[in-house]
Amino acid sequence: MLRVIERSGQSVFLMLIDLVDTKGNMPEQGKTLADAAACLSEAIRLSLRRGDLYTRYNASQYLVLLVGTAIENCTPISNRITSNYKKLFKGRGIHTKYSVLPAGDINFDDHPISFTSGRSLWDRS
């Protein structure tokens, strides 16, 4: 898929959205996290354009594929998702955290995608 994207000249970004507690950690499993995840899923659905894709990766993470967007548009997209999430989720203490990576920068041979704690593949500060 990445080769097709590169040939077409489209820019593609992969956005990782984490649900985190007030300390930045994964919230405890339970009804509150399940409710927050359901609200985040709906917020993402309401916020994306046609052609963008998303999936739930685990209990507290979603992946979003942003096709044909520029890096400067990733922040407004995340702001829309956050705004919709805050409207939908009435609980407290679970927030969103975003990381964005250009899809063309992913080298699956050298850097298999991993979401285990301690990895900083997604933090491109």
Question: What is the reported pLDDT for 92?
Answer: 85
Residue 23 has pLDDT above 50, yes or no: yes
- pTM summary value: 0.78
- 121 domain residue, yes or no: no
Residue 10 has pLDDT above 80, yes or no: no
Where residue 15 sits, what CATH number does that domain have?
Answer: 3.30.70.270
Q: Element (H or E) spanning 34, and its range?
A: helix 31-47
Radius of gyration of the chain (CA): 15
Structure confidence by residue, pLDDT tens digits, 87-120:
999 888 999 999 998 877 666 565 454 443 344 4
Instruction: Quote the number of domains for the chain.
Output: 1
Sheet holding 53-58, edge to edge: 53-58, 61-67, 12-20, 95-102
Query: Domain span at residue 16?
Result: 2-104
Query: Residue 14 and residue 65: Cα distance in Å, rounded?
Result: 5
- 16 domain residue, yes or no: yes
